[in-house]
Amino acid sequence: MQIAKRLGISRNTVGRAVASSEPPKYSRPPLEVTSFTPFEPRVRALLKEFPELPASVIAERVGWTGSSSWFRESVARLRPEHRPVDPADRLVWSPGDAAQCDLWFPPQRIPLEDGSRSTLPVLVMVAAYSRFISALMIPTRQTPDLLLGMWSLIKTFGRVPRRLIWDNETGIGQRGRLAAGVGEFCGTLATRIHQLKPRDPESKGVVERRNGFFETSFMPGRRFNSPADFNAQLTEWLEKANGRLVRTLKARPVDLVDADRQAMLALPPVPPVVGWSTEIRLGRDYYVRVDTNDYSVDPAQIGRLVAVHADLDRVTVRVERRVVADHARLWARQVTVTDAEHLDTARRLRQQFGQSRHHVDDTALIRDLADYDRAFGLGDHKEGVA
């Protein structure tokens, strides 16, 4: 009893040790021989060469004819021993070095202008050092809207991170090539896009955890009337979220963000060219298309080159820097937007065109009768001559 009390172990353990003729040691029980045992060496050889080979293919290769479920369980037990090891390093973020970017899709459809509801992307940008969160709902995940969203968040932040970390988002770039316009955007801001390799969630874990934070802390119990209402509620909530203690940092993002900003780059003196931009010749159908929606233009400009530009809020059309159309941008899909003045102008121009086409000079219908005499050769006969 004294030995057990002193060592803090069971009296039965002490009793078995005293009665034993040798020191206690662990011995693994012998493996049970099963129907899978004869196939195990060949299964291990295949897994060593092809760690992800499906169990059904392995069963065919080794000639297994027994239970498929039992074979899958046995292969699943052996597979982890043959998979290559992929260690994840612990990342240390320096002030101003990077902002992690991602798209989060809220699990709630947002009402749009035409009465429909849609799941819209939210662009999330998190300063990696301070964990300061900024986010904005955008109309689409296409390149123009992604650049508009990034520029809007960077302006709100007041400084430019030295790196913008993205996964392989199509609107940013894929297979090592940036999408059109992304390189120019980075060049103007003097920053660079760092796209992660596939299946590397650890390098973007900061923003991924914030996406989960939105779903558990921001979304519950909320309703939204429009994308603008969503952004207003999100902005108000982020002020509180950035004031909460981050356990891994043992600090609040709002307390660390100044150090982050000081190490970042200054905003460029000339803003980057972002948004939807194109130049087309206006046809008889006096509409221009932005994304999937059509917007009317002053019909008086038919046949002329017009410059179309759209941001997150407005669609403007210019002719030689003169605005000939200005519409609120719709986030709904496949909608036609018409200005009443453009309709009136088109109606007036059609009337003018019809009048000019059907106008007839009445004097042109009066013909000299002598024309007929000359046509039949009667003009040269004199009176009394046969």
Residue 6: pLDDT band (50, 70, 90) is confident
Structure tokens at 40: 């195990």
Q: CA 311 to CA 301: how far, in whole Å?
A: 22
Q: CA 135 to CA 214: how far, in whole Å?
A: 10
C-alpha distance from residue 223 to each of 149, 237, 291 (Å): 23, 14, 27
Do residues 226 and 109 touch, judged by C-beta distance below 8 A?
Answer: no
Do residues 138 and 146 touch, judged by C-beta distance below 8 A?
Answer: yes
Q: CA 214 to CA 241: how far, in whole Å?
A: 10
Name the H helices within 84-159: 143-157
DSSP 281-324: E--SS-EEEETTEEEE--GGGTTSEEEEEE-SSEEEEEETTEEE
Residue 376 is predicted with a pLDDT of 67
Angle at which helix 182-189 crosses helix 143-157, to 10 degrees, equals 20
Residue 94 is predicted with a pLDDT of 93
Q: CA 367 to CA 364: how far, in whole Å?
A: 8
Q: CA 10 to CA 17: how far, in whole Å?
A: 11
The average pLDDT across 105-111 equals 95
pLDDT tens, position by position, 197-256: 876 767 788 999 999 999 999 999 999 999 999 999 999 999 999 999 998 889 999 999
Residue 383: pLDDT band (50, 70, 90) is very low
Residue 84 is predicted with a pLDDT of 83
Count Cβ atoms within 10 A of the Cβ of residue 141 and give its class: 0-12 exposed, 13-18 middle, 19 or more buried.
middle
Residue 371 is predicted with a pLDDT of 66
Residue 357: pLDDT band (50, 70, 90) is low
pLDDT tens, position by position, 28-71: 666 678 889 999 999 999 999 999 999 999 999 999 999 999 99
* Residue carrying structure tokens 């002020």: 239
Sign of CA dihedral 240, 241, 246, 247: positive
Percent of the chain whose predicted confidence (pLDDT) is above 70? 89
Structure tokens at 166: 């993205």
C-alpha distance from residue 236 to each of 67, 111, 135, 218, 241 (Å): 58, 20, 11, 10, 9
Domains, the chain, with CATH or none: 2-81 (no CATH), 98-263 (3.30.420.10), 276-342 (no CATH)
Residue 192 has pLDDT above 90, yes or no: yes
Do residues 91 and 75 touch, judged by C-beta distance below 8 A?
Answer: no
Q: CA 132 to CA 256: how far, in whole Å?
A: 8
Residue 234 is predicted with a pLDDT of 97
Residue 21: pLDDT band (50, 70, 90) is confident
Count Cβ atoms within 10 A of the Cβ of residue 268 and give its class: 0-12 exposed, 13-18 middle, 19 or more buried.
middle
Residue 380 is predicted with a pLDDT of 55
C-alpha distance from residue 285 to each of 244, 295, 299, 303, 323 (Å): 54, 11, 8, 10, 18
Q: 5 versus 75: which is more confidently predicted?
A: 75
Q: How many residues does the chain have?
A: 386
Q: 96 versus 14: which is more confidently predicted?
A: 96
Residue 26 is predicted with a pLDDT of 67
Q: 270 versus 14: which is more confidently predicted?
A: 270
Residue 345 is predicted with a pLDDT of 94
Element containing residue 371 per DSSP (H, E): helix 370-375
Q: End-to-end CA distance of the chain, in Å?
A: 167
